[in-house]
Structures are given as C-alpha cells and as structure tokens.
C-alpha cells in the first residue's frame, strides 16, 4: 500500500519551526513584568538573561517581581517617582553597631559611648508580625543604674537533653539555665569532646542548643559552656547524650497564623521595651520583644543631610535606588516568608557554621562569615535541577560538603 505523503513541505516545516522557536524563545518579558521590574533590569539584565531559559525558575523571578525578595520591606518605595519614605532616609544614615541574627524575646547589647551620635536606631525583624523600626534618644551614661563586672562566672544549672529527633538528620537539643545572661555553646563527641556547636552570642538565661548530624544508637559525651558580658566563663561537668531512642520534651511552638489573618490591617504589631544600664564605662542595653525577633542596633547623628542618591553614570543623573535586604535576610528570612514548613527541622539547618574541619566548596554560597543559608543548596533565580538545586542529584549535593558519607 502506498503511504500518503505529508502535505507539509520541507520549506513549510522549516518556517513553522522557526516561528515556534521565535514564540518560545524570543525573550520578550511576560505581560506582568511591565513596570517596576523594568527599572531593575535596566542595570541587572544579565541576571535575567542568565536564568530565563532554565527549566526550574523561582516564581518571583519568572514574574519579574524583583522587589518580592530583594527589597527591604521597611524601605519600600510606595511611588518611585516621589522618592523614599522617611524610614528609608533614616536607615540610610545608620551606623550599625551590632546585629543578633538568632530570633529571641530578649536581646542584650554592650557598646561604647558613640561620640556625638545620641540617637539609637533599633530594627526588629519578626516572622509573624512583620518588622519594626524605632528611634530612641540615648540617655546620659552617668544617670543609669550600674551593671558592673562581679568577676564571677555564670552559675549553670538544669543541664539536660531536651530532644532527640530524626528529621533530615538525626539531631538533639541540649538545654540549661544560667543565673545571668550569657552565651551558649556545647562541646560533644563520641569518646572525646572533639566537636562543638557554633557560639550563640545571644545573651540569655534560658539556653537551648541544637546539635545536627548525630549517629543513631551512640552515646555522646557533652558539656555546656556559657560566658557573661565580661568574659567570665562557666563550663559544666561532662554528661551523656544517648541517641538510641527518640523523644522530645520541648514545648510545642505556637501555631503560625494563617496567611489571611496576617494580611488583616488590624493585626497586632511587634512591640519592644528597653532598659539601659552603665557597665564599666559602656552602655548596656536590654531589649525585650512581644515575639521572637532578630534585632539590629545602630546610631544616628543628631542631624545630618540625607543620603541615598546614587550617581548613575558620567551624565551626573541622580537615581534613587531602593534599599535592598542584607545577605542574611535575603538568603534566609525571606525564604521563610513563603516556605515556613521548612523552618522547623524539615530541611538542612541554616544560619549555622560548618563543622570543624569541613570545607565548603566555592559553588555553595555562604554568608560572609561562613554560615550556611538556603542559597547554599538552592539557586536563587533558576536552575536546570529540580527544586533549583545547585547539583544534579541530592546525593551529589550532600557529598559536596559531607565527603565522609560517600
């Protein structure tokens, strides 16, 4: 039987495929991209060109909603033609003194008298009630109650294992109390104390430290260490952590509010309180919050001209640039805004330092001080790997750092 010839000639076939190619890969931005993103792409078009043809794309990147992740919500421009809000102007002049990246209800800062800068600038970042900025006039040091070095180390008590659980890795939580605000660190190991957790510089009297990457069915030695503001250091006696059975004595966290509830205009906002002390010629500041927050402390000059105008090019044209998030918030906090279920142990730990002796490959981005972030494993904009991983397979991704598991 004679086969029926195709009615599509070679010329028509080539033309049809050429038109299909143009439609799919012409590079025209989606219709929703017109507007604010165009301002970003004027300078950052390379990032768009590098990622737009990859298979798996981050939804805000695909929709060219750059501000969703990159712009500081406290400094967002309501109308780009009218410049920034007052908060933007203030924040751009801040001399940052210190940041506590671990969420807590209590934050302590000890800092020298800041010269002529008599205004403190506080920035709290919460995961439930948003963010808060507050300016406080610094009181005269000599008027404050004293909190001086007593040359006594913190008294440690109630040391124990609060949890042993298997999530992505087998992990444990060690808890203890101290009779004064102090830092937190745990040394541990099988047979000898040859590992330690990163130092947690949040000064607190109630300590909880997580240890990840433990082996099942083992008895670990451990001890806890706390140090007060003045360097007085306490070390507990050695104790035993058994990973043979899983359990948890941790209090259940309060449920996250529903997304709809968060959008209500009448929702409660973060509130903070401050207590000032003088401590050996320095300021000592305690900040309390109504929910666990990350806290940053800076100073503002009493009066100085605003800044923020960036010279775009040799033409001297001034461009008002949005204030973008710092590396920590861009690569960790922002991710939790949408991916909350990964926050509590369902993924690799973030905001942690590598174990002693571990070498992190250059292609695994970290914060400047070496801490791991969500972007250490996931490409920010797009990837040809599922879940936007930076490696083709989960095994290859893990072995990049955990070579001992190969």
Its domain, for residue 369, covers 51-71+327-405
What confidence score (pLDDT) does residue 298 get? 92
pTM for this one?
0.62
Q: Are residues 278 and 357 in the same domain?
A: no
Residue 178 is assigned to a structural domain of this protein: yes
Q: Are residues 294 and 350 in the same domain?
A: no
Q: Are residues 166 and 55 in the same domain?
A: no
Does residue 350 come out as left (phi exceeding 0), alpha (psi in the -120 to 50 range) or beta? beta
Contacts for 195 with CB less than 8 Å, ≥ 6 apart: 187, 188, 189, 355, 356
Residue 316 is assigned to a structural domain of this protein: no
What confidence score (pLDDT) does residue 237 get? 97
Query: For the chain, how many structural domains are there in total?
Result: 2
What are the CA-CA distances from residue 59 to residues 26, 258, 259 (Å)?
20, 21, 18
Residue 315 is assigned to a structural domain of this protein: no
Q: Are residues 171 and 98 in the same domain?
A: yes
What confidence score (pLDDT) does residue 176 get? 96
What single DSSP character describes residue 332?
I
Instruction: With CA atoms as reference, report the closest residue to 132 among 211, 185, 74, 55.
Output: 74
What confidence score (pLDDT) does residue 323 get? 61
Q: Are residues 160 and 297 in the same domain?
A: yes
Q: Are residues 346 and 379 in the same domain?
A: yes
Q: Are residues 272 and 353 in the same domain?
A: no
CATH of the domain at 203: 2.60.40.10
Q: Are residues 299 and 360 in the same domain?
A: no
What confidence score (pLDDT) does residue 2 get? 44
DSSP letters for 191-223: SS--EEPPPEEEEEEEEEEEE-SPPTT-EEEEE
Residue 6 is assigned to a structural domain of this protein: no
Residue 284 is assigned to a structural domain of this protein: yes
Residue 112 is assigned to a structural domain of this protein: yes
Distance spanning both ends of the chain, measured CA to CA: 59
Q: Are residues 275 and 334 in the same domain?
A: no
pLDDT by residue, tens only, the chain of 406 residues = 444 444 445 545 555 555 445 444 444 444 344 445 557 877 888 888 888 888 888 988 888 888 788 876 544 333 333 333 344 567 778 888 888 877 788 999 999 988 877 899 999 988 777 788 899 999 999 999 999 999 999 999 999 999 998 877 788 999 999 999 999 999 999 999 999 988 888 899 999 998 988 999 999 999 999 999 999 999 999 999 999 999 998 866 555 454 444 444 555 788 999 999 999 999 999 999 998 888 999 998 865 443 333 333 333 344 455 666 777 778 887 887 787 666 555 567 787 777 767 788 888 988 877 888 889 899 989 888 888 988 888 888 888 888 877 6
Residue 78 is assigned to a structural domain of this protein: no
DSSP letters for 171-197: EEEEEEEEEEEEEEEEEEESSS--EEP
Q: Are residues 202 and 282 in the same domain?
A: yes
Q: Please identify which residue in the block is written with the tokens 């909350």.
A: 340
Residue 87 is assigned to a structural domain of this protein: no
Q: Are residues 284 and 160 in the same domain?
A: yes
242 is written with which tokens? 């058994």
Q: Are residues 285 and 184 in the same domain?
A: yes
């Amino acid at each position: 039987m004679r086969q029926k010839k195709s009615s599509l000639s070679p010329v028509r076939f080539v033309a049809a495929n050429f038109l299909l190619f143009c439609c799919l890969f012409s590079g025209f931005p989606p219709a929703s991209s017109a507007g604010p993103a165009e301002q970003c792409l004027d300078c950052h078009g390379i990032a768009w060109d590098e990622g737009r043809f990859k298979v798996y794309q981050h939804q805000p990147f695909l929709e060219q909603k750059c501000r969703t992740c990159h712009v500081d919500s406290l400094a967002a421009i309501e109308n780009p033609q009218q410049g920034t809000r007052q908060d933007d102007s203030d924040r751009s002049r801040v001399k940052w003194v210190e940041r506590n990246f671990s969420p807590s209800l209590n934050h302590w800062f000890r800092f020298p008298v800041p010269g002529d800068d008599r205004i403190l600038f506080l920035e709290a970042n919460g995961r439930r009630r948003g963010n808060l900025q507050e300016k406080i006039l610094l009181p005269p040091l000599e008027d404050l109650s004293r909190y001086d070095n007593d040359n006594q180390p913190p008294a440690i008590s109630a040391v124990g294992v609060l949890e042993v659980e298997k999530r992505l890795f087998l992990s444990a939580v060690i808890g203890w109390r101290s009779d004064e605000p102090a830092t937190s660190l745990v040394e541990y190991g099988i047979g000898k104390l040859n590992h330690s957790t990163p130092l947690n510089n949040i000064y607190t009297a109630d300590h909880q430290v997580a240890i990840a990457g433990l082996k099942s069915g083992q008895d670990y030695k451990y001890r806890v260490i706390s140090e007060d503001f003045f360097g007085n250091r306490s070390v507990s006696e050695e104790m035993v952590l058994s990973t043979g059975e899983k359990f948890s004595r941790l209090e259940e966290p309060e449920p996250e509010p529903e997304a709809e509830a968060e959008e209500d205009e009448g929702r409660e906002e973060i509130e903070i309180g401050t207590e000032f002390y003088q401590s050996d010629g320095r300021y000592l500041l305690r900040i309390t919050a109504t929910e666990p927050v990350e806290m940053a402390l800076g100073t503002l000059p009493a009066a100085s001209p605003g800044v923020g105008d960036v010279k775009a090019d040799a033409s001297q044209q001034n461009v008002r640039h949005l204030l973008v998030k710092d590396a920590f918030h861009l690569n960790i906090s922002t991710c939790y805004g949408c991916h909350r279920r990964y926050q509590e142990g369902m993924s690799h730990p973030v905001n942690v330092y590598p174990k002693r002796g571990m070498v992190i490959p250059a292609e695994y981005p970290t914060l400047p001080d070496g801490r791991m972030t969500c972007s250490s494993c996931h490409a920010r904009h797009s990837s040809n790997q599922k879940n936007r991983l930076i490696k083709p397979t989960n095994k290859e991704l893990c072995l990049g750092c955990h070579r001992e598991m190969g």
